[in-house]
Amino acid sequence: MNRKTMALSAVLGLLVPVLAACGGSDGSGGDGDAIVVGTTDRFLLTEDNPAPFDPALAYEAASWNILRNTFQTLMALPRSGSDPVPEAATECGFSDRQNEQYRCTLRSGMKFANGNDLTAQDVKFSIDRTLRIKNPNGPVSLISNIDKVETPSDTEVVFHLKTPDATFPHKLATPAAAILDAESYEPDALRDGFEVDGSGPYTLEVEEKGGAVESFVFTRNKNYEGEIDLKNNEVEMRVLTDSKAMEKALRTGSIDLMTRSMTPQQIARLDKGDDETIELVEMPGQEIRYLAFNTDDPVTGKKAVRQAIAQVVDRQTLTRDVYKRTTEPLYSMVPKSVGSHVNSFFNEYGEPDAGAARETLASAGIETPVKFELTYTTDHYGSATAPEFEMLQKQLNSSGLFDVTVKGVEWSTFRPAATERQYAAYGMGWFPDFPDPDNFTAPFFAKDNFLNTPYRNKEISAQLIPDTRQQAERTAAAKSFERVQDIVAEEVPVLPLWQGKQYVASRDGVTGVEWALNSSSVLQLWELGRSVG
């Protein structure tokens, strides 16, 4: 077994200021058989999700990995690092000191993969469309601060913002701002099914059965003009039933690489195994897992109940016994690897203490045991989720203060039900849209938060978040972000549990594996190649 561990400092140190431009089929590498990637992510057509790859609706890591490889955005994260750089644009920047007007110049002569011209009007169409559709499960909250979009010419786009937002370049680098072909998409309706029409590095063919994807084929887009240097001509992604089947496919050579989702036991086995043809790469990540509470619920709506839960939950045991140290305890919604992080929950509650929790409940006049149901999704975050919630149930009930039941629900039902506030307490994960503390605070605590939680704190939403967005120098926003984290720890609308590491396993001969995932868990298929000889 070969193993590489990429430290965060090392990854960030590999930043290259300017990437080699790639237009059409003139990029580097790309010969040989298709690289085959395995995944356990499921892509289903459902009533609540009829258009998994429509940028106006898609808002989860699995779907975004497809979009990031097939659509372009004006800005993009570089090969490593955290500051976005122009991608479909040649230059972008604020044209005022208030961070309220943002201008971009597109590359000239751009085309979509289908041959249609890509102009500034397509950019405006794409933004206006997502704002118009305004799907509650989609990423509209990322661009809802846009007041209007102007197109002075075919290559110029001007965004007028409602309020200052120094993080706007980051948001233009997400699939929420993917550029669509105005001739292929309806202006006010989702595009049902699995088809995409973009200008990204790859075109996409989907093999599906009964509304479920079985495989994807990503083929080099000959019309692509952007900063990405493709190392291959074709990648196949196969959807496997579970992590066990995925590991078997890797060991037998049916697939070349696997990542989402591996179990902690698999990671340990691959790390200690004697198969010299397989390499395991560990990379830093910013994925977090947390509990969300319905603050209008008769039980979890009581702050003392949420605080008592925070005093009982033992993160160290959870990460050691369930996740086998492939995750780390997290005491804030902002991960340790992101600027402005503080251990607010540890500072507020310290080590797990059932006695302190009993006093909290008694002081609020709450009788014990407190009964409520803890809900999790069975098929979205990996097979370790079930034992994780069994552990949480055991921790809470063994304190004598709670009578918790747990319930597992498929993601296709779980996500809309959570949005409709049907659960008292439920488990969620978060893969960041971009590596800034804003993306670990605003999506949860701003007025139009993606959880649709009833929780509101005026200091956070009306003062602190707007203040942070005025700071072009992000370190200047640290005090405000720290205050947000402290308020959240005191009021407990959510309870952070852990921060994940990232793992990729591949067979010998596959290159670029260490770049396959960036710190935001973006799957960069274009980095994968085959060694010569």
Q: Are residues 440 and 515 in the same domain?
A: no
Q: Are residues 219 and 146 in the same domain?
A: no
CATH of the domain at 262: 3.40.190.10
Cα Rg of the chain, angstroms? 23
The tokens for 221 are 């887009």
> Cα–Cα distance between 9 and 21 in angstroms, integer?
26
Backbone angles phi, psi at 167, to 5 degrees: -90, 5
CB atoms within 10 A of CB 355: 9
Q: Are residues 361 and 492 in the same domain?
A: yes
The tokens for 520 are 């935001």
What's the confidence (pLDDT) of residue 21?
Answer: 33
Q: Give the structural domain span for 240.
A: 202-280+503-530
pTM: 0.87
What's the confidence (pLDDT) of residue 3?
Answer: 52
Task: Tell me: cis bond preceding 261? Omega within 30 of 0 counts.
Answer: yes
> Cα–Cα distance between 533 and 522 in angstroms, integer?
29
Domain contains 292: yes
Domain contains 300: yes
Q: Are residues 290 and 248 in the same domain?
A: no
What does the DSSP assignment read for 161-177? ESS--TTHHHHTTSGGG
Which residues are paired to 158 by β-bridges? Answer: 103, 150
Check: CB of residue 300 under 8 Å from CB of residue 293.
Answer: yes
Check: CB of residue 88 under 8 Å from CB of residue 81.
Answer: no
Element (H, E) at 343: none
Q: Are residues 337 and 443 in the same domain?
A: yes
CB atoms within 10 A of CB 272: 10
Q: Are residues 339 and 471 in the same domain?
A: yes
Q: What is the mean pLDDT of each run of 10 residues along the chain (533 residues)?
A: 49 35 38 88 92 96 96 91 91 90 97 98 98 93 95 98 95 97 97 96 97 98 96 98 95 94 90 86 91 98 98 98 95 94 98 98 98 96 94 98 98 93 97 93 89 94 95 94 98 97 94 88 93 76
What's the confidence (pLDDT) of residue 6?
Answer: 53
CATH of the domain at 440: 3.10.105.10
Helix/strand/coil for 54: coil
What's the confidence (pLDDT) of residue 337?
Answer: 87
Q: What Å distances lie between residue 526 and 74, 233, 507, CA to CA?
A: 18, 9, 17
CATH of the domain at 62: 3.90.76.10
Domain contains 291: yes
Q: Are residues 218 and 323 in the same domain?
A: no
Domain contains 391: yes
Backbone angles phi, psi at 29, to 5 degrees: 60, -160
Helix/strand/coil for 148: strand
What's the confidence (pLDDT) of residue 533?
Answer: 59
Domain contains 186: no
> Cα–Cα distance between 393 and 6 in angstroms, integer?
34
Total number of domains in the chain: 3
What's the confidence (pLDDT) of residue 8?
Answer: 45
